[in-house]
Structure 1
Amino acid sequence: MAQTRSAEDSARPTSTLVETTNGKVRGRSQTGYDQWLGIPYAADSTGKSRWTAPRPAARWAGVRDAMRFSDRCAQASGWDPGYEDPTLTEDCLSLNVYTPEGTQGRLPVLVWIHGGGFTGGAGQDTNPRKFAQQANAVVVTVNYRLGALGYLNLPQLRKENGDGPGTFGLLDQQAAYLAATTFDPELAGSGGPASAREPGEALAEIIHAEIELLVSRGVRLIQLNNPLLLGQIAADPAAPGPLSFVDALAVEAQAVRLDVRPEGVRIGVCPGWEAPAVVDRAGAESLFGEVPADRWILPYDKGAAAELDLLRALPEDRDACLGVVGATVPELEDIDTVLARIDAGAEVKDIEDMAVAPSRGFADSAAHPLLSAEAQRRKLVLVETVAHYCWGNEF
């Protein structure tokens, strides 16, 4: 689904009645934007379709109403407003489309996949109208199967169908993404897609507004994570993705800009979880020089030469916080090994200017299991010992 055809070639439709590859849908025009809600991107996933990969949605006759959200996917009750009662519906694989008013030609498409630990939430949890307007983009939010219905993995299911057990919800996300972003150029108007930098700059404005909100509430030290940046200063960087490195730096600088930052407010940036195998020194200097962060939170738990190269590229007026202790593995390093890394760093940058921390933080559970409370305590004791070694600096 979700291949939207304009009524007058590349011009904006005069109404919210549009043709999709599955049939006509009628949305609703709101102040500054249009929306189409609850459009199915896959077939009903109940009955014999339970615990199978998503199948394409069937075509429908006539005009489908797209003015209300579909049911949320089955989930238990939660503490968020509106989630006080459990949801039992399984026919829920739908998406919601938001476009800025007055759209002409093709626009970038951004797909928002809701959070909730794969057990709760829905596409309707966010209203991206402002982002669609500021980024001049189509924003799509999606539902996907949750909990056991989305991630159950049993031998019986693997025997029935090798494509999906344990990953049905992820397959839903892929299907929704393809439905939202695969357009027939002859049906989508003319003009070509806008630069990916445009939605990036709009996102930077939103991040900057969040920083201002935190500052207004008394927060004085803010950390931003962009784990993709270090990959772009490798000697042999991976594919750059939708944003060039130069554009990525411009977007980051716009979010962290200095012009209206009150005195005493400091912003730290974590550009990645681990150093590349080999650092491009010019790229590292460009990163540190063009993004006006007060502190750079850098990986420093491997003792690799590239970690020292990152530190060498850091300007003298920029503070560093070094992630000196691996916080995602239960093993505890010998204190002398850790202090030897600190001594090597002290030859590159004044040790009194360095703060230390557990690398990546204890909440990095995407690829690693969470540590036990005792393992976390022992890691923190080690970090505190290192911090006292660095002239009692903060951590």
Structure 2
Amino acid sequence: MLTNAVSTTTGPVVGVEQGTVRAFKGVPFAIAQRFAKATPLRAWTEPRRCTDYGAYAPQPGHLDHADETACLSLNIWTPSGMDRPLPVMVFIHGGAFVTGGGADYDGGFLAEHGPAVIVTINYRLGPLGFLQLHRHGLDEANNLAIMDALAALDWVHANIANFGGDPDAITLSGQSAGASMVIALATLPQARGKFIRALALSAPGRAIMSVDHADEVARRVLDELELARDPAAIGSVPLPKLFAVVERVGRMIADETASGTVFGPVLDGTVIAREPRDVFADGSLRDIPLWLGSCRDEMVMFLKSTPPAAMIRTTERQVRAAFGDAGWGRLLSYYRATARSDEDPYEALLSDAFWHRPTADLARLHAAAGGAVWLSRFDHRSALEPFLSQGPTHGADNACLWAHLPDFIDRPILKRKGGPMTPADIDVAARFQTSLLRFVTSGAPDIAEAWPRFELPKEPLAIFGQPFHIVPLNEGVRSRLWAELLAQSGAPQTPAARAKVG
């Protein structure tokens, strides 16, 4: 059954009733011209039917279902019959900055059980969202995906009250690449006052690209397209050709990037003027409660990819550069000596270097600046592939977060099927969802006695497993060896410095 029309700043929309929740899907928030900033839509007067997900952002495997001008849409799930404004969660999807979309995340279950208003968004991906061409004559083509996300946040802030949401109680959240975007967005002056909390799950440790590296990627793409003398002509290159060239360039230079990925938010000096971690460190965001999470075996998925992801080689090379071959050897020996029976020591070392340690250092920066921060790790192996065979690798927490208990949901864009959950899956997912909804509602994921804030010197780490429990982050020989190697390397012993070493 269709909902009543809801007014927005561009025109009325109608959604569909899903039990006790109203869903509005494919709501356009801007229009995108290639390599230009998103612009407002032309207003309409007749109610617009928003009952199906909008067009995917162009991406590998979905170019035939994509629409590059009309891909900027969002999806809203809101409980029916509420008599008060509800807290809002805006979610930015992951996908290595090249895949994914809001259609992979049905927020109906979270909205009903919050109660809360859940919003998922699309943004431009791959070259259309992250290829930096402003040094090549296309003045607006820098950090376009970040600008898309800002436009979505602006739209939500201006319109969500009409959907039952509280525009002054918005939590900005994301996973993987989306978490990187959350961290970058949170530090931008343009976003101030438009969100009050932030959640970042599995944010890569080195997601901000230098402007010089981004410029080099753009130069190589233009060279491959034979457009070095006419960069503006890239605007008319057919999408299949553009994406094929970008994939070829990516294979050639992925090892040259700090993160092992070609794209990401760029420290361009205009849209993103400062390194985000420096903004957290100086206390500018101390009033923003922050939840940072990761999965225990983040790197397994990337080790098992064919070929193994470039971030594997990049991370090992950077640790060797920081501590020397002898230091790398000592680390690996310690990880082998302390490995669990089901643990790959090499994977565990890389997961710590690329994911866990940078995440912990961001928590230290925020805590040291006076901010409230909570740190978590997801240790549960769910009965859903690839996690059943690979363990709690990258995305394991995200699968439980969006589950419609007692089932995992389908992911149509990633082409992953859902399925029934085991009692253990349900137990862990329910705890994870409850913590998230409590964070969205109150700014703290649990009562202090059950999950204390991350503060020195104890540095509590919440483990989502069976049972849920808290452990000190800085215990164990692995942590002590990292500290020893950092001291020997001569790196300044500050959280910011440690974050750069990883």
Q: TM-score, normalised by structure 2?
A: 0.41
- Whether the aligned pair in 2 keeps the contact of 1:249 and 1:290 (CA below 8 Å) is no
Are 1:284 and 2:456 an aligned pair?
A: yes
Partner of 1:10: none
Which residue identity is paired with 2:81? G
5+ residue gaps, structure 1: 1-13, 78-82, 212-217, 258-268, 272-282, 299-317, 327-332, 342-358, 361-366, 371-395
Q: Deviations over 1:128-154 (max 9, x none)?
A: 212212221111111111111111223
- Structure with bigger helix share is 2
Partner of 2:154: 178
Which residue identity is paired with 1:67? T
- Whether the aligned pair in 2 keeps the contact of 1:200 and 1:251 (CA below 8 Å) is no
- Quote how far apart the aligned CAs of 1:67 are: 0.5
Are 1:67 and 2:67 an aligned pair?
A: no
Q: 2:472 aligns with which of 284, 290, 296?
A: 296
Q: 1:337 aligns with which of 475, 479, 488?
A: 488
Which residue identity is paired with 1:112? F
Which residue identity is paired with 1:284? L
- Whether the aligned pair in 2 keeps the contact of 1:37 and 1:69 (CA below 8 Å) is yes
Would the alpha carbon gap of residues 128 and 192 (structure 1) be closer, same or farther in structure 2, given more than 3 Å must change?
closer
Q: Deviations over 1:192-217 (max 9, x none)?
A: 96797xx999x9xxx9xx99xxxxxx
| Cα distance in 2, alignment partners of residues 156 and 238 from structure 1 | 37
Partner of 1:32: 20
Q: Deviations over 1:73-96 (max 9, x none)?
A: 11111xxxxx5x754421211111
Are 1:167 and 2:143 an aligned pair?
A: yes
Q: Deviations over 1:285-339 (max 9, x none)?
A: 67649998453333xxxxxxxxxxxxxxxxxxx767516448xxxxxx979937x
Helix, strand or coil: the match of 1:57?
A: coil
**1:54-203 maps to which residues of 2 (within 5 A)?**
54-77=38-61, 87-90=65-68, 91-154=70-133, 157=136, 159-161=137-139, 163=140, 165-183=141-159
- Quote how far apart the aligned CAs of 1:177 are: 1.3
5+ residue gaps, structure 2: 172-196, 202-291, 297-340, 375-437, 492-497
- Quote how far apart the aligned CAs of 1:54 are: 0.7
Helix, strand or coil: the match of 1:19?
A: coil
| Cα distance in 1, alignment partners of residues 485 and 365 from structure 2 | 29
Which residue identity is paired with 1:296? P
- Whether the aligned pair in 2 keeps the contact of 1:109 and 1:181 (CA below 8 Å) is no
| Cα distance in 2, alignment partners of residues 181 and 190 from structure 1 | 9
Partner of 1:237: 370
| Cα distance in 2, alignment partners of residues 37 and 19 from structure 1 | 15
| Cα distance in 1, alignment partners of residues 482 and 14 from structure 2 | 55
Q: TM-score, normalised by structure 1?
A: 0.50
Report the number of matched residues: 255
| Cα distance in 2, alignment partners of residues 237 and 144 from structure 1 | 32
| Cα distance in 2, alignment partners of residues 37 and 171 from structure 1 | 21
Helix, strand or coil: the match of 1:105?
A: coil
Which residue identity is paired with 1:106? P
Helix, strand or coil: the match of 2:154?
A: helix
- Quote how far apart the aligned CAs of 1:61 are: 2.3
Helix, strand or coil: the match of 2:12?
A: strand
Q: How big is the alpha-carbon RMSD for the aligned residues of Structure 1 and Structure 2?
A: 5.1
| Cα distance in 1, alignment partners of residues 158 and 80 from structure 2 | 22
Structure index of larger Rg: 1
- Quote how far apart the aligned CAs of 1:31 are: 1.9
**1:189-338 maps to which residues of 2 (within 5 A)?**
227=360, 229-231=363-365, 233-234=367-368, 236-238=369-371, 248=444, 250=446, 283-284=455-456, 288=460, 293=469, 295-298=471-474, 321-322=478-479, 324-325=481-482, 337=488
| Cα distance in 2, alignment partners of residues 54 and 114 from structure 1 | 19
